[in-house]
Every structure is written in structure tokens, then in C-alpha cells.
Amino acid sequence: MANLEALLGAAKKGYTAPKQDNLELSVQEKKTITKDSSREDILDYIMVFLCERIDIKVSVFKGGYVLTKLMPDEARMTEDIDFSISEEHQYYDIIPVLEDLGNDLVKLGVITEYEVKPTIGERSSGGIHMMTPGNIPDLKIDIGWHDLSWGVSSWSCVGFDCKRFEVERMLSDKISAIYSRKRFRRTKDIYDFYILTNNFDVSLPKLKEYIINRGLIDWNADPFREEVVTQYAKAYDKLTVATCDGRVINKPELSKILLRLRDFMENYDNDVTWNHMERVFK
């Protein structure tokens, strides 16, 4: 096995920041942020920092940060930025950027210290964990290693032409979590499923294709069984949903979400599209 320090050293030596003509700091990065800045401003600052320094052509964003940009009035507050790459070596080009980001945020007083994950695996993410002062939730960047040949669309964010997961790919992840044994610890996924289907049309053939591509769904973990619904309700009651600006959102009733989910599963094999405006399949 290659020496880790040597590998990281080689990666740092070989790293070259993306060249941009007449590079000027974006509006978001010109802002002065502090530990007292809003979570949204801090995450936007981090996003600009990343987009100016990593290869965004091979990086695909996903997760809670994307949802806050797509649905700012309904999406849950998030503490991290998630994105995926498709090849292991790309991560070692990103490590110096994560270290620069950590040092920058320490100087600004936004975080007290940070830890960069030295490796990435197909089942273990890379990224950085940034510790914040006081009772402020920590910040994180989570980087996955995934097949990015499917389920990807263009996305304009903080002044950059980025890429993100398509809605159907996001939903394939949510449905996988709902059908997993972890669902009682991840009730946020069933809420995300509901708001995504409230705001976007969904192609069921594409959703099925992406679920198959993703794999690893335990179809025997039926979320509609009475004993499961009872446990789900208790866990869902404990979920507090607030936007990035701190506004508390009234959650929909769990029964309403489960009815929507059942409709999707009953149409799983049908060549139909969910119309989010009319709340019907066509």
C-alpha cells in the first residue's frame, strides 16, 4: 500500500488551481463573514470558495444545501455542503482546497479548528469537519465517490455554472433511506420526499431507472406496516423543521406524506409522470 503522506504530498504538488481570466472575487466572497453571520451567508461563502478552486465540471452537488437553493421557503436548514466526484484521484486534488478553506475560516473566527479526511472510498465519504465556537452547529463538507454518468443536470448557483443531482436521483436516495433500517433516525428524508414532490414534476420511468442504478434498497422493509408507521410517527414528531433564516415550518402530517409515498410506489412500474401542480400522475 502506498505511503499515505507521500500520496498526499504528491497530490499537493500536482494540484493547480483552476485558471480564470481576470479573476475577481465574487460578491459573496467579498462579504466579511464572522461567527455571527447567518448560516446561509456562511454556506454561500463556502460554496463560492469551492467553486473558484475545484473543478466544478467533474463535481456534482446534492443534499440539503441544494434543496435550500431550490426551495428556500420549505427546505430544512443544513449544516453542510455535499457533492460527489467520480474518480478517487480527484479527491486528492481537492484536499489542499479544503485545507485552505479551513485555514481561512479559522482566521475569520467562523470556526475554531478543522479536520480533513485523508482518503475517500466507494462506501466512505471524504470531506472536512469544521468545529464552530459555542453552541453553533458545526460545519461540514461531505464528498462522495459515485457514478456520475446518470442523473445529473446543470445548475446555476452563487454565480457559477454548476451541476446537481436531478430531482429523480435525489428522490431515489430519499426512497432508499425510507426503505432502510435507518429510517427512524432519518425522518428528514420523508419530509424532503414530500417537499420535492410538491415542487417538481417527476418521471416515474426515470425514477425507477435511478432506483435500479442506485441499488441496495431493501424492499422488504415495508414502511406502510402498522408497527412501522407507529414508530415512524414517534420519530417524525421529534423532527423540527426550520429554514436557513430560522423560520420554523409547520410539518405536514405524516399520514399525508405516507399516502403520497404509497401513490408513488403503486405507480412505480407505470409509464407516467407526477404533475406537482395538480398532484396527480399523468
- In the structure grid, which three cell numbers stand for residue 3, read together? 505511503
What does the DSSP assignment read for 228-280?
A: HHHHHHHHHHT---B-TT-PBPPPPPHHHHHHHHHHHHHTTTS--EEETTTTE
Hunting for cell 425514477 — which residue is that? 207
pTM score = 0.85
- In the structure grid, which three cell numbers stand for residue 51, read together? 467553486
d(CA 258, CA 139): 32
Cα-Cα-Cα-Cα dihedral sign, residues 128, 47, 151, 11: negative
State the pLDDT at residue 9.
45
Share of the chain above pLDDT 90, in %: 71
Asked whether the predicted pLDDT for residue 50 surpasses 90, the reply is yes
Helices (H), the chain: 4-14, 27-30, 39-51, 63-70, 88-108, 167-178, 188-199, 204-214, 226-237, 254-266
* Strands across the sheet containing 202-203: 202-203, 273-275, 280-281
DSSP classification of residue 156: E
Task: Output the CA angle 127-128-134, nearest 5 degrees.
Answer: 150
d(CA 258, CA 212): 22
pLDDT one-digit tens code per residue, 168-218: 999 999 999 888 877 666 789 999 999 999 999 999 999 999 999 988 777
pLDDT one-digit tens code per residue, 258-270: 999 999 999 999 9
